[in-house]
C-alpha cells in the first residue's frame, strides 16, 4: 500500500499487513509528522496467474523494493524507498585565490622588478668602482659598449704640432691628465709612440707629467717635446706607461 505524509507529501510504500483494524500511528522519516493511518479494506484473494518457466531454468524469488518497517513504541517508522542513482564522477574542488594572496603576489613581483632595476642601475652607475674591485669585469663592460677606466685617471685633449727651432723640426705634444675617480690617484709616467703608415712603431719616449697625484675631479695639463722626430712618422699614440713596456 502507498502512504502519503499529510505534512510534506512524501510518499512511502509499505506492506498493508502491518495495519490491523482499525489502524495505527505512523511517523514520517523526513519531517517527523505523526498521523493515524486507517487499516486498508480487506480484498478478496485472487487466484494467481500461472507462471510459465522455460525448461532447464530456475525460478528466483522476487526481491521487494520497499524497506522493512519496524515498530517503535507502537508507531511505525519508515523511510522512502531507495532510489537508484547513476554513479557520479568525483568532484574536484579548484581552490580560489583570496584577494589577500593575489595582492601579496603582486607586491612580491613589483619588489622583485624594482630590485632587479636597482641592481642594473647600480651596476652601470658604479661600474668604475666595480671594475677597480673586480678587474675582469672591465672586458664585460667594454663588450656592452660601456668602457671602464680601471686606473681612475685618463688623458684628454691630446694634440700635437710640428715646429722648427734653429732650423730643426720639433714635435710638440700637449694634453691633460684628469682624475675621474672619487679618490686621490697617483699619476704615472706618460708614453708617446710614433707610428708609420702601417702602424709600425718608429720611436717612443716616456716623460713625467710633473705632478705626483691628482685629487678627485682634478686635472693637470702637460707638454712634451721631441727634436728631430722620424720623418716617416704619420701617427702617434699617447697613453700611460705600463709596467711591462720596454724602455
Higher-confidence residue of 90 and 202: namely 202
- Residue 156 in this model has a pLDDT that exceeds 70: yes
Of 234, 175, 236, 176, nearest in space to 205 by CA: 236
| Helix intervals (H) in the chain | 99-125, 127-133, 137-143
Query: Distance (Å, rounded) from C-alpha 223 to C-alpha 151?
Result: 21
pTM of this prediction? 0.45
Higher-confidence residue of 241 and 79: namely 241
84 phi and psi angles, rounded to 5 deg? -80, 135
Of 74, 75, 79, 62, nearest in space to 14 by CA: 79
Convert 13-35 to b/e letters by CB count within 10 Å (16 or more is b). ebeeebbeeeebebbbeeeeeee
Of 185, 177, 175, nearest in space to 216 by CA: 185
Percent of the chain scoring above 90 in pLDDT = 33
Domains and CATH numbers, the chain: 1-41+66-81 (no CATH), 98-150 (no CATH), 153-240 (2.60.40.10)
Neighbours of 202 (CB within 10 A): 16
Q: Can you give the pLDDT at residue 232?
A: 93
Of 203, 185, 186, 183, nearest in space to 194 by CA: 203
Query: Distance (Å, rounded) from C-alpha 68 to C-alpha 78?
Result: 8
Please state the length of the chain. 247
- β-strands 23-28, 75-78: how paired? parallel
Q: Can you give the pLDDT at residue 1?
A: 76
Question: Where in the chain does DSSP place strands (E)?
Answer: 2-4, 11-13, 23-28, 34-38, 70-72, 75-78, 153-165, 168-179, 185-186, 190-195, 201-207, 213-214, 219-227, 235-240
Q: Can you give the pLDDT at residue 196?
A: 93
Q: Can you give the pLDDT at residue 50?
A: 52
pLDDT-based confidence at 43, cuts 50/70/90? Answer: low
What number of helices (H) and strands (E) belong to the chain? 3, 14
Q: Which three cell numbers stand for residue 208?
A: 713625467
Identify the three-state secondary structure at position 110: helix
Chain mean pLDDT for the chain: 77
Query: Distance (Å, rounded) from C-alpha 75 to C-alpha 27?
Result: 7
- Residue 177 in this model has a pLDDT that exceeds 90: yes
- Residue 117 in this model has a pLDDT that exceeds 90: no
Q: Can you give the pLDDT at residue 12?
A: 83
Amino acid at each position: 500500500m502507498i502512504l502519503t505524509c499529510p505534512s510534506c507529501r512524501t510518499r512511502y510504500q509499505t506492506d498493508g499487513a502491518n495495519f490491523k483494524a482499525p489502524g495505527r500511528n505512523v511517523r514520517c522519516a523526513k519531517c517527523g509528522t505523526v498521523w493515524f493511518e486507517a487499516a486498508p479494506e480487506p480484498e478478496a484473494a485472487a487466484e494467481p496467474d500461472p507462471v510459465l518457466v522455460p525448461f532447464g531454468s530456475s525460478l528466483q524469488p522476487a526481491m521487494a523494493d520497499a524497506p522493512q518497517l519496524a515498530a517503535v513504541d507502537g508507531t511505525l517508522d519508515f523511510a522512502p524507498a531507495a532510489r537508484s542513482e547513476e554513479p557520479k564522477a568525483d568532484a574536484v574542488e579548484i581552490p580560489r585565490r583570496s584577494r589577500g594572496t593575489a595582492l601579496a603576489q603582486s607586491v612580491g613581483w613589483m619588489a622583485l622588478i624594482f630590485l632587479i632595476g636597482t641592481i642594473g642601475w647600480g651596476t652601470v652607475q658604479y661600474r668604475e668602482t666595480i671594475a677597480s674591485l673586480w678587474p675582469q669585469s672591465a672586458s664585460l663592460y667594454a663588450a656592452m659598449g660601456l668602457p671602464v677606466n680601471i686606473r681612475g685617471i685618463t688623458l684628454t685633449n691630446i694634440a700635437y704640432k710640428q715646429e722648427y727651432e734653429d732650423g730643426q723640426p720639433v714635435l710638440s705634444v700637449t694634453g691633460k691628465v684628469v682624475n675621474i675617480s672619487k679618490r686621490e690617484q697617483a699619476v704615472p709616467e706618460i708614453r708617446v709612440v710614433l707610428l708609420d703608415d702601417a702602424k709600425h712603431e718608429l720611436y717612443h719616449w716616456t716623460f713625467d707629467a710633473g705632478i705626483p697625484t691628482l685629487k678627485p675631479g682634478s686635472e693637470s695639463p702637460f707638454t712634451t717635446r721631441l727634436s728631430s722626430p722620424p720623418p716617416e712618422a704619420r701617427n702617434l699614440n699617447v697613453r700611460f706607461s705600463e709596467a711591462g713596456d720596454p724602455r
